[in-house]
Structure 1
Amino acid sequence: MFLKYDLIHDHCLLVKRVSFIEIYLISMKTACQEYVRLELKHTL
């Protein structure tokens, strides 16, 4: 499982890989924003 941020729809997707199918689950937005903030710190 991993998080993926969707800028277009402004929400975070929790992606769970089941064989070749990706199932997208919308995670809590606050947790997502915190995750994105941390990711941005790493990339800068």
Structure 2
Amino acid sequence: MPPADAAPPLSGVRVLDLTTARCEIGGRILADLGAEVVKVEPPE
């Protein structure tokens, strides 16, 4: 087991999320693993 103060596996990774609301689980999982997720939505 890694030490409690260890960085998350995707720490320092940026992800551009272009998915629709139906597919947003992927971005959430990546964020839970430490990635910085930027959600891009179309203009209204």
Asked if these proteins are the same fold (TM beyond 0.5), I'd say no
Considering fraction of residues, name the structure with more strand.
1
Considering fraction of residues, name the structure with more helix.
1
Q: Which has the larger radius of gyration?
A: 2
Indicate the structure whose relative CO is greater, using CA pairs within 8 Å and at least 6 residues apart.
2
